[in-house]
Amino acid sequence: MTVQKLRVGIAGLGRMGKRHALNLHTLTHRADVVAVSSPDQNECKWAMDQLEGVRVYRDYDEMLAKEDLQAILIASATAVHATQTLSAIEKGYHVLCEKPLSIDVAEAQAVVGAYKRSLRTHPNQKVMCAFSRRFDASYREAYEKVASGDYGRPVVFRSQTADLLDTSGVFVNYAKTSGGIFVDCSIHDIDLMLWFLGEKSKIKSLQAIGVTAVHPGLEAINDRDNAIATIEFYDGRIANLFCTRMMAAGQEDTTEIICKAGSVRVNMQGRKNHVEVHDSLGARRELPQYASDRFRDAFITEVREFTECCLENSPLPISLESSVRALVIGRALQHSLMSGEKVLLDEIDSKL
Amino acid sequence: MTVQKLRVGIAGLGRMGKRHALNLHTLTHRADVVAVSSPDQNECKWAMDQLEGVRVYRDYDEMLAKEDLQAILIASATAVHATQTLSAIEKGYHVLCEKPLSIDVAEAQAVVGAYKRSLRTHPNQKVMCAFSRRFDASYREAYEKVASGDYGRPVVFRSQTADLLDTSGVFVNYAKTSGGIFVDCSIHDIDLMLWFLGEKSKIKSLQAIGVTAVHPGLEAINDRDNAIATIEFYDGRIANLFCTRMMAAGQEDTTEIICKAGSVRVNMQGRKNHVEVHDSLGARRELPQYASDRFRDAFITEVREFTECCLENSPLPISLESSVRALVIGRALQHSLMSGEKVLLDEIDSKL
Amino acid sequence: MTVQKLRVGIAGLGRMGKRHALNLHTLTHRADVVAVSSPDQNECKWAMDQLEGVRVYRDYDEMLAKEDLQAILIASATAVHATQTLSAIEKGYHVLCEKPLSIDVAEAQAVVGAYKRSLRTHPNQKVMCAFSRRFDASYREAYEKVASGDYGRPVVFRSQTADLLDTSGVFVNYAKTSGGIFVDCSIHDIDLMLWFLGEKSKIKSLQAIGVTAVHPGLEAINDRDNAIATIEFYDGRIANLFCTRMMAAGQEDTTEIICKAGSVRVNMQGRKNHVEVHDSLGARRELPQYASDRFRDAFITEVREFTECCLENSPLPISLESSVRALVIGRALQHSLMSGEKVLLDEIDSKL
Amino acid sequence: MTVQKLRVGIAGLGRMGKRHALNLHTLTHRADVVAVSSPDQNECKWAMDQLEGVRVYRDYDEMLAKEDLQAILIASATAVHATQTLSAIEKGYHVLCEKPLSIDVAEAQAVVGAYKRSLRTHPNQKVMCAFSRRFDASYREAYEKVASGDYGRPVVFRSQTADLLDTSGVFVNYAKTSGGIFVDCSIHDIDLMLWFLGEKSKIKSLQAIGVTAVHPGLEAINDRDNAIATIEFYDGRIANLFCTRMMAAGQEDTTEIICKAGSVRVNMQGRKNHVEVHDSLGARRELPQYASDRFRDAFITEVREFTECCLENSPLPISLESSVRALVIGRALQHSLMSGEKVLLDEIDSKL
């Protein structure tokens, strides 16, 4: 008897693409990475060296045209996420697309529309945005603890995405197409907020403030490197988000869900592993440097579960609508950040 | 040779008054608690039992009239803080007044005015508002580390005051005269913010949101039991405050000062002492239940240093103007919390 | 181009065998689990359900006779470890054998002898005992930190293996064939001691004491459920081992390497993941319950690296001699534990 | 009404003497430091500067002859502890003597004998050895938790005294008269062991090993700078002690009491205060440097409670017999450390 495997194509082989490719290729028993595509010559060379038996394309459309695939993992530049997802949807393929689906709300919504229409003819088709934290063991345990009701109703949600300080200067260039700090960083916290507080909670107000402390170039592109947001819901809950690009010790993504009779917290004491050193400076532990270190296992779980979901036709763990809603909230916060306006929403019309 | 001692009178013998009285009476070598006053009969009885050799008055003014004092510690009900401080200032006495000086900004400013006028005739007179955290060893070390410049400019200030959940119901009654959660709780964080970010930083905007989760009675008195604030400064810094009345495990006052090249944090892992228990529930530590547990040593240091300051005519560690400014900011946040308005301030006119 | 894969057979499908089988089958890209064997009918059934495409045998020798394999992973009962390893060595197969190779020193040494003879005709043959902690990321980082010399010479080695308290009573039955607590538990700490202090350090003395606190049945089989050992080396180093079967919160394996100018510690604050809960009992985290939770990644790394090592003919990470030496030390400690004797060793004759 | 105060004389003004003098003088309301004595001119000068109103003597006996005292605190050189205690006992004075009472067992036992005889004529006389950890809030809470029985019978006691590495070289000179590392350091752990496991538990065996790693001069005076001991009791309990003079980060005194259904631990994560710094080296906290930092509050509590005990004629918190027994055990461990012998004790004759 042989294992049924999902025939996967991968678009984009940057940092995240490489990681997904290796996770699918070597750690996902039921996936078969058939082909990859990247417009970048070095990335193609990397694939030829590292991904034994996988065909390599410079052009995404050519890969789609020539290969007989079942699923596409999209990890290309954000600018082409939506277009590539649409092409794959049209072919009836399952799609796992890196976040965000787009930095443009209308474009993201167009993808949702296309997916909905496609479902009529391909009822088992799976399209999902890759929000890795939902696959992290700690976040999952936190979710179960909150959902158990043991600690009462969750009332206050506090979450931060804190990236390692990068003093190389290359960051500003990347930021240009990122959609801004709330779309690039906090969208993970927004996704978690929707998960923990309930996808249906309606937002009453939101606002954000921020500064440019270590990347002055961000001023010119309407972005900030440190920002704080507050969000108010109609059902009596509040949220507080913090994002920063200047965390000196490493990646520190933390979340607190404060319920009426207890609170559940994730990663309030960041640590890379179980090592601690005591020397003349005191007692010291190191932190994960990047999200890819902190969420290494979550990335593996993500592609494995997506593979299972396609093969078994089981429900998607995250709805595409929720991911688009996270984008809308992220864009609204970015608007507030740059305009200084507090955004007030009518309960009935609240789209956020 | 005998020790020169400061003759102190104490007004108010509630929870804080009792603590200050004992700290001054038994742990402050250079202070001599000569007299205490309280309108409450039980409190007077407590004083007669516990404070050997101290005269006890039911009436504050009578104490002032009959006793030859040098300093007054005011720990009475907030409503009389300002009046009692003014009476003591008039007599040329040093005053250590529990926070807040008043919940009314004008009244607090009147005290500052009176003190300034009194200084002309009593140049060595000391009047200070008791912000205990400035006397805490951890906050002081954090301050020194930030001030050293080793971690670069402080850019983001995050601080929370989290009180133990009290389900007895008596809390709402107390809250009526507290000035609201931002004046009662967050004023400590505001004071720390002014200390760490610089007393002269001008505020550009502030806003707050909140909910009433465990004390529904707060709705009727224009207050909340959980609130979040953001504050923006003209010099490129931001602050984030969180206050809650429903922390299930105990008192959790935490502060992070995030600088450009490092961050300094206070009490991110609350613990009552050095004990940890491992049993079938996991690994567990207990937390201090009240601010009086967490800041026990700070309260002692506070009265000891105030005593030294009066006897040695050394500079006050906290200026009265700064404390009034903290009150003004707290009131503005409380206004934003209840109105939903974001308060924008002109750089020149900014009084906050 | 296709991936070159190592054809592996697995002997034994108990708790560890199942885990190794799944790790090799689904998470080790370059291994191909061809066949498994187990005398236990339920385990065979499990294999038929879970290991798609793998042939299942009730008899180890039959598997060896019928299959064309390259490597054997032995995870059967300890009593047959040596015999099965010898059979595989004779066929020229690579072997990864669960610890201990045997509880009998002479038998273990016979395996080493057979391997050495076999190497003359199969110079690339790899035979290794599975000491999982050497593949744990934290222990590896600790090793690098110590080896860097930054903290000076390692002088004191302290290590503990603490198993979750099992009140079911089944444990005593298992213990009968385990070789005793120092061979079953502490052998990991002994292996680490040899790694961190140097494989060539000669032992001057060793002794152990212990008690039977929660498993009285251990008395009858010459074992204890809590024991402490001290070991003295001729080169001026000392070690302290602690092992227990009654840790209430979970698995707590900790190690400290105390060097002249600093110390490196592993897992002094056990934690299952990044979650912490604060409720009326205090602040609480959960611990891994079993070694299989704590060392989940190490087990995966172990089979992956062993696979690489066989395919690439790279040096083995642990020598078989070292593993037999660990066994000899474990047996000597068990002897001291039961006899109460301190074992003194001559520097020249020291076999330990 | 005036406060009844205990008239105290202090012998010795070294590091501990100064601390005790200040604690009694400025932080112990019911104690009156009447006089101090020290053979050291600089220490006498310090007393004249710092202890207002206190008479200063160069000679202990002269102080005893001239002053009308009620209690003596002895913090002089260990060599004169016993003699000075005996003189004070003869005068019927209460005595708090720094540990150890003596490094000579017979001399210590002579003090116990003298105290017992003196009690016939001075039934309220209090003589106690100063084991500060019994006054530490964390150890007290740990004791209550163990004594509650919630975690079952305590079976394994592990404790360490780890002193900051001192590279100045002055240490060896001090060590000459210290009685050895087990009498100087571990005596605290031994005292805790007797407290936690029961003063009446009889020792079956004990042994110790050690090395000289950073203070080679210790070899010549029959001492070690790192040592490990194991102790076995007749009632089915075991203990493990570790002491070191080379802890690079500071003072790390830790204790674990492992009971059948849980364990209680003290100071497994040493920290000076509530501050943590995150920078490019990772997350870091500082440790207390000296026992005087870690046990600052315990020292204050100790003299305050001793004062109360004398004034109120309440029972002593630690019996003198227990302290002598701790010394006997410490000496026996030091003997084992230097001789390499395991000491076996008969249940009936066990004096330890």
Express each pLDDT in C70-97 by its tens digit: 999 999 999 999 999 999 999 999 999 9
CB pair distance less than 8 Å for D249 and A285 = no
Cα–Cα dist D25/D28, whole Å: 6
* Kind of pairing between the strands at A94-98 and A127-130: parallel
pLDDT at A230 over 80: yes
Structure confidence at residue B173 (pLDDT): 87
Tell me if chain C has a CB within 8 Å of the CB of D230: yes
Whole-structure pTM value: 0.96
Tell me if ipTM is over 0.90. yes
Q: Are A178 and A78 contacting, i.e. CB atoms less than 8 angstroms apart?
A: yes
Give the helix/strand (H/E) hosting D36.
Answer: strand D31-37
Which residues on D lie below 8 Å from B264 (Cβ)? 275-277
Give the helix/strand (H/E) hosting C73.
Answer: strand C71-74
Residues near A243 by beta carbon (within 8 Å), at least 6 away in sequence:
A160, A161, A162, A181, A182, A185, A186, A189, A226, A227
CB pair distance less than 8 Å for C252 and B278 = yes
Tell me if chain A has a CB within 8 Å of the CB of B247: yes
Q: Are B31 and B5 contacting, i.e. CB atoms less than 8 angstroms apart?
A: yes
pLDDT at A44 over 50: yes
D156, D205, D214 ranked by CB distance to C260: nearest:
D214
CB pair distance less than 8 Å for D279 and A249 = yes
CB pair distance less than 8 Å for C342 and D207 = yes
pLDDT tier for residue C195 given thresholds of 50, 70 and 90: very high
Q: If you count residue pairs, one on B and one on C, with CB atoms under 8 Å apart, how many are there?
A: 52
- Residue B234 CB neighbour total at 10 angstroms: 14
Residues near B269 by beta carbon (within 8 Å), at least 6 away in sequence:
A268, A269, C283, D276
Tell me if chain A has a CB within 8 Å of the CB of B284: no
The two structure tokens encoding residue D227: 């040592």
Cα–Cα dist B107/B96, whole Å: 17
- Residue B3 CB neighbour total at 10 angstroms: 13
Q: Which of B2, B275, B279 to mutate to test the interface with D (most CBs of D within 10 A)?
A: B275
Which residues on A lie below 8 Å from D279 (Cβ)? 248-249
Which residues on B lie below 8 Å from C280 (Cβ)? 248-249
Structure confidence at residue C1 (pLDDT): 40
CB pair distance less than 8 Å for D52 and B2 = yes
Structure confidence at residue A346 (pLDDT): 85
Give tens-digit pLDDT for A273-293: 999 999 999 999 999 999 999
pLDDT at A26 over 60: yes
The runs of H, that is alpha helices, within chain B are 15-27, 41-50, 60-66, 78-90, 105-121, 137-147, 171-175, 181-184, 187-197, 291-294, 296-312, 320-339
Q: How far is residue C79 CA from its own chain's centroid?
A: 15
Q: Which of C164, C253, C254, C285 to mutate to test the interface with B (most CBs of B within 10 A)?
A: C285
How long is chain A?
Answer: 352
Nearest to C318 by CA among C139, C86, C87, C64: C139
- The DSSP bridge partners found for residue B255 are B159, B266
All residue ranges of chain B with pLDDT < 50 are 1
Tens of pLDDT along chain D (352 residues)? 456 899 999 999 999 999 999 999 999 999 999 999 999 999 999 999 999 999 999 999 999 999 999 999 999 999 999 999 999 999 999 999 999 999 999 999 999 999 999 999 999 999 999 999 999 999 999 999 999 999 999 999 999 999 999 988 788 888 888 999 999 999 999 999 999 999 889 999 999 999 999 999 999 999 999 999 999 999 999 999 999 999 999 999 999 999 999 999 999 999 999 999 999 999 999 999 999 999 999 999 999 999 999 999 999 999 999 999 999 999 999 999 999 999 999 877 676 7
Residue D279, min C-alpha distance to chain B (Å): 4
Q: How far is residue A62 CA from its own chain's centroid?
A: 27
pLDDT tier for residue A2 given thresholds of 50, 70 and 90: low
CB pair distance less than 8 Å for C273 and A138 = yes
The two structure tokens encoding residue A219: 């001023």
Which residues on A lie below 8 Å from D252 (Cβ)? 278
CB pair distance less than 8 Å for D250 and A285 = no
Residue A273, min C-alpha distance to chain C (Å): 6
* Residue B145: closest C-alpha in chain D: D277
- Helix and strand numbers (H, E) in chain C are 12, 15
How long is chain D?
Answer: 352
Q: Is D212 left (phi over 0), alpha (psi -120 to 50) or beta?
A: beta
> What does the pLDDT average to over C164-190?
91
In order of their start, the domains of chain D are: 6-129 (3.40.50.720), 133-294+326-344 (3.30.360.10)
Which of the other chains make 3 or more beta carbon contacts under 8 angstroms with chain C? A, B, D
Query: pLDDT over 90 for what percent of chain B?
Result: 92
- Residue B319 CB neighbour total at 10 angstroms: 16
Cα–Cα dist D188/D201, whole Å: 17
Structure confidence at residue D1 (pLDDT): 40
Which residues on C lie below 8 Å from B160 (Cβ)? none
Structure confidence at residue C167 (pLDDT): 83
CB pair distance less than 8 Å for A207 and B207 = yes
Beta strands in chain A (DSSP E): 6-11, 31-37, 55-57, 71-74, 94-98, 127-130, 154-164, 203-211, 226-233, 238-247, 254-259, 262-266, 275-279, 282-285, 343-344
Nearest to B20 by CA among B74, B92, B99: B74
Nearest to D63 by CA among D25, D33, D26: D33
Residues 83-122, chain A, touching B (beta carbon < 8 A): none
A1, A269, A279 ranked by CB distance to C261: nearest:
A279
Which residues on D lie below 8 Å from A280 (Cβ)? 248-249
Q: Are A257 and A240 contacting, i.e. CB atoms less than 8 angstroms apart?
A: no
* Kind of pairing between the strands at D94-98 and D127-130: parallel
Tell me if chain B has a CB within 8 Å of the CB of C253: no
Q: Are C8 and C69 contacting, i.e. CB atoms less than 8 angstroms apart?
A: yes
C252, C278, C286 ranked by CB distance to B248: nearest:
C278
Q: Are A17 and A76 contacting, i.e. CB atoms less than 8 angstroms apart?
A: yes
Which residues on A lie below 8 Å from C261 (Cβ)? 279-280
A155, A214, A240 ranked by CB distance to B240: nearest:
A240
Our CA dihedral for A13, A17, A19, A25, rounded to 10 degrees, sits at -80
CB pair distance less than 8 Å for D280 and B261 = yes
Q: Which of C163, C211, C214 to mutate to test the interface with D (most CBs of D within 10 A)?
A: C211
Residues 126-185, chain B, touching A (beta carbon < 8 A): 151, 153, 155-156, 158, 165
Q: Is C152 left (phi over 0), alpha (psi -120 to 50) or beta?
A: left
Q: Are C208 and C182 contacting, i.e. CB atoms less than 8 angstroms apart?
A: yes
Which residues on A lie below 8 Å from B244 (Cβ)? 156, 258
CB pair distance less than 8 Å for A246 and B240 = no
- Indicate the burial class of B119 (C-beta count within 10 angstroms; 0-12, 13-18, 19 or more): middle
Which residues on D lie below 8 Å from B262 (Cβ)? 277-280
> What does the pLDDT average to over C325-340?
96
C278, C279, C285 ranked by CB distance to B283: nearest:
C285
Structure confidence at residue B351 (pLDDT): 66
CB pair distance less than 8 Å for B276 and D262 = no
Which of the other chains make 3 or more beta carbon contacts under 8 angstroms with chain D? A, B, C
User: Any idea what DSSP says for residue D218?
Assistant: G
Structure confidence at residue A3 (pLDDT): 60
Residue D251, min C-alpha distance to chain B (Å): 14
Cα–Cα dist B22/B27, whole Å: 7
Which residues on A lie below 8 Å from D270 (Cβ)? 283
Nearest to B287 by CA among B139, B170, B163, B166: B163
- Residue B1 CB neighbour total at 10 angstroms: 8
CB pair distance less than 8 Å for C268 and A262 = no
Q: Are B351 and B328 contacting, i.e. CB atoms less than 8 angstroms apart?
A: yes
Residue with tokens 């502890």: D81
Backbone angles phi, psi at B31, to 5 degrees: -110, 145
